[in-house]
A and B are shown apart, each in its own frame.
Chain A
Amino acid sequence: MTFSFEIPLLILLILTAGGAILVKDLVPAVFILGSYSFFLALVWAWLGAPDVAFVEAVVGAGLATVFFLLTLFETAPKDTRLHRPPPPLAALIGLPLLGFLLLYAASDLPNFGDPASPASVHISPVYLENSMHDTLTPNVVTSVLMDYRAFDTLIETVVIFTAGIACVLLLRRNQA
């Protein structure tokens, strides 16, 4: 497997994430975060997930940026503090531990892109093979999302509904 296309994208991804974290001025940081989302969408498209890439491009690069900007317009657009305190001890111990755990757990994962991995052979072929016959829907992601696992999608829609109601409850004191 060649990584010639992926490696530069991943480097750009980490650079943009770093930019979003390190830039002091919050409005540029949010725009850099938007470009981070965009690169993420590219990586996902490369990994064969066009649906996810599409949603990330619309939601991450678009909607999230709009939400951030609207909040920043109402609040302070700058991180005014110049000196940052030293990191707390718990973070210095906890983060390497967490990183070690991530890598430790990954060493037994099936190889990247392995067509014989459990995830590729156990349940998912059923969706791919039956989607057309069961639902007449060629886009398997849609048929899994809206039919085989439709209940998850209902709750997903409830999550976004909850968020809307929560924003109303928190921010609109005068109108219902």
Chain B
Amino acid sequence: MLELIEVWLHRPNFIAFVILFLWGFYIMVTHHNLVKKLIGMYIVQTSVIFFLVAISAKTGATVPILLSGTGPVQAATYTNPLPHVLTLTAIVVQIATLGVSLALVAAIYRKYGTLDEDEILKRLE
């Protein structure tokens, strides 16, 4: 067990990811305010993206923009570009989801005049 904790302490960004993911998850599921739920959702999505970006890191490597135009490329000197591509797509998906969810929130507010989930459920009945 102690070994495991030591292993985790060597990846502080993983611990940050876990904290953000769980906290956001909790807010997203249990908070009663719709906008707060979306803030939780935003944090969950960014934390997953954070996890993906952390995969790409290589010790002592630089950004994946090639320095010299010609000549062979040493792959170990550049960070892994594929997770960056995945995260770019995931960020776009995130902002698209945010747009749709905010549109739903605005439509719900127009109909029920509140952002409190329990209030809305009361008015539904």
Contact = CB atoms under 8 A, between A and B. Distances in A.
B103 A113 contact: no
Contacts of A127: 81-82
Interface residues of A, number: 90
A175 interface: no
Interface residues of B, number: 84
Given A21-B40, A128-B81, A138-B69, A64 B88 contact: no
Given A119-B56, A129-B72, A170 B107 contact: yes
B35 A132 contact: no
Contact of B102 (A37, A68, A87, A138): A68
Given A79-B36, A132-B73, A171-B103, A124 B91 contact: no
Nearest to B71: A132
A115 B73 contact: no
B36 A160 contact: no
A80 B27 CA distance: 16
B69 to A, nearest CB: 7
A95 B91 contact: no
Contacts of A80: 116
B57 interface: yes
A176 interface: no
A112 B8 contact: no
B81 to A, nearest CB: 4
A3 B12 contact: yes
Interface string B15-42: 0101111111111011011011011101
Interface of B: 4, 7-8, 10-14, 16, 18-27, 29-30, 32-33, 35-36, 38-40, 42-43, 46, 49-50, 53-67, 69-70, 72-73, 75-76, 78-85, 87-89, 91-93, 95-100, 102-107, 109, 114-116
Given A71-B105, A131-B73, 12 more contacts: A30-B39, A71-B102, A95-B26, A112-B14, A113-B58, A115-B58, A125-B75, A139-B64, A140-B64, A159-B92, A166-B100, A167-B99
